[in-house]
Amino acid sequence: MAFLWRWLNNLMQVRGQVLLFLKPPNPKTQSQILNVFLLPNNVPLEEVKAQQGDSVYIETSSECRLINRQSYSVHCPEANKIVPHIAECNLDYGPNYHPTFEIFLPANIEEVTITLQDPRNADVWKRRVELTGPGPAGIPKRIQDAKMKKIVLINILDDLREDEFKRFKWFLEKESLLSFRESELLEAERVETVDLMVEKYGISGTVKMMVKVLENMSKYDLMKKLLSSGTEGPGPSKTPVSSPPAKDAKMKKTVLINILDDLREDEFKRFKWFLEKESLLSFRESELLEAERVETVDLMVEKYGISGTVKMMVKVLESMSQYDLVKKLLSSGTEGESDVKPDPNTAETKMDVSEDVKKLKKPPSSFTPELKTESTQVSYRFRCPGPGGFQCTLTGLVFVVAQEAELLYRTVQWDESLLQSAGKTPAGPLFNIQCPEEAVCELHLPHCETKDDLRPEGLLSVIHITDDGMSVLEPLEITDTHVIVKVPHLSPFGLTLDLEFLGRFWNGKKPVTGEVLLFLRSLDRGLRVLDVFLLPSNIPLTEVAAQQGAAEYIKISSDCKLITGENYRLHCEPEDLHIQPEHAEFRSKYGPNFFATFEVFLTTNPETVTLKVQDQVKTDVWKRSVPLPGPRMEMRLAAEHRDPAEARDLAEARLLLARTEFINRVSNSLLDQLLNKLLDGGVVTDLEAESMRKHERAETARNVIDVVRKKGSEASLVLITALCELDPFLSRVLGLR
């Protein structure tokens, strides 16, 4: 009978997640409420977060097994009360997400233990939970009071000069979908402007609109200040603070306005004088004479269009000997020029696009794409300089292209019910790829299959999803690392496994090449937690890192062999450290959320810990000695979380530690932006920058970091600060954040 119960139980179980949100304390009752959500594991965390208002998400390992329509109870020794005592688990997919349980806690409590039990009082999920907000010491807590948030917004506007504030209001009116009453915005001072925005958009909407306007104005320092102020929640924002190439008319006009902003007032008058002389199309009397910078760009675009305006501005700026601005304008992307220099080896690769199967004549060239992170969604961009094969260092994807083309790609969520109806299950991320039609000939998708498990023909296939539905593509070839398919046209592509093969050959327990990823996060009371992730090896690190907030990625060799459906335990030395859960089942999960498999609570500050993952028969499948950043390894901590003088003194040494990875990982476009920052900061001369740009990517990277490092700590700190600003993810990987 017990066997029958276990069999039925496993049959009905689904993968679930327990999400925790802490509501702000109630000063009258001296209590706070911890909301507990029982949800399917493929409900995106961001969708739930968006509905929780001022509640703070409490980060913890969340995965568990749940049974739909079964009753569960929550237990918490520290609770004043729990409502309801028992609740039925309804595994719904929205649109609204309401807590399954509310745990009423004392206002000043900092740590609780929560246990979820099934009707037989068996523990389904049990965690020790820190209620203090995440983030390293020094990062501001979430600003929960609306008045305080408005003060933050007003202070941001106070940092604008008077002419900049006028431009802010101009952009605001252009961007706004909700019109303002006549002259109300024109005459409004900073306080009134914030009041008007909050009235129309609410606090959250006002923050988003201000970010958008400040980005249009290229006020990236104020964007960063606003996003780190806590007005949208704890932790640093993942919104990039580097300026992307202009991609539409509005952004291109913004770039042109910013170019004119770099001219002094007398230079701007000279610009208009030259413009009138150079122009073949006459302006109306006095319209150019009286025009400010924004109106000047509007007039030019009206007469010449965007492309013509760029050409005319280049001509005028050259006449004024403003060569720095000419260079800045031409490198801004307003004409869609490639910011990737062709690899001479790749450029020579010839592709016969008439062949049914395009074959690489040479191994693919590696590239590091530009990243853009919005919330936790990462998107990748790369311009292929010509025909050939190009492999992304971050995702493992290989693109075989027949011509120069821009690639835009990101991961999207699988519809697992659709896959199951076709007898498939995900075997890799689902990539949504955009590119001009017929530019991509072949796509190589990375798999995580072990060499011995590639034998069954039909095991792996590629799913292609279009507006017309889902189709299955048979691979042209399966190598030890990739599945190769011919690309009919681009849209979402992803690897899948055949469920019938999975059951027939492995009974659901299939070996895969896995990876163990480590992230170290700090809590307010000085406590640190080492999050340990067991994942398939073809999940990009960037996708996991984007969801870890301010946690620091600990780089360590991660490869191992794991078996889906098997239970694993994590052991840690020193042994007095608390680990939760005691054991966990490994699942090949490809998003949308990535939660830690294990959490190690570092109650002391060890310099090194020894971690080992063991299978059910206590065999080590992965064992590493892991150095941890801490009081004795300050060079690994971000400059903004340390005394400025100390950060400056250690900057040179920190660059030396990061040198090899910097050379391997930095992209051409990022190098170009870094050189511009170094020029602006007076760290390098025009001659030095020009000389560095002549080399191939790796050589340029080597020259940049070595030249700056040799110029001392002040120069090194400028490079570190610029890198943290332009590419938060890479700086975290390099240990510079």
Most confident of 341-345, 556-560, 731-735: 556-560
pTM exceeds cut of 0.85: no
| Token duo for residue 134 | 């995440």
Domains and CATH numbers, the chain: 1-130 (2.60.40.2660), 141-228 (1.10.533.10), 253-332 (1.10.533.10), 365-505 (2.60.220), 511-627 (2.60.40.2660), 644-734 (1.10.533.10)
CB environment 173-183: b (16+ within 10 A), e (fewer): eeebeeebeee
pLDDT at 110: 81
Helix axes 323-330, 249-261, angle to 10 degrees: 160
Give the residue with greater pLDDT, 661 vs 249. 661
584 φ/ψ angles, rounded to the nearest 5 degrees:
-150, 145
pLDDT at 555: 87
* Mean pLDDT computed over 521-532: 80
pLDDT at 579: 92
Are the C-beta atoms of residues 379 and 546 closer than 8 Å to each other? Answer: no
Count CA atoms closer than 13 A to 588's CA, side-chain side.
Answer: 28
pLDDT at 524: 60
pLDDT at 166: 86
Provide the strand spans (E) within 45-135: 56-58, 63-67, 71-75, 81-83, 86-88, 101-106, 111-117, 123-130
Closest CA to 127 of 20, 33, 49: 20
- Residue 570 banded pLDDT, cuts 50, 70, 90: very high
Give the residue with greater pLDDT, 492 vs 333. 492
| Cross-strand partners of 88 | 71
Helix (H) or strand (E) holding 608: strand 608-614
SS3 196: helix
pLDDT at 392: 94
* Mean pLDDT computed over 352-361: 40
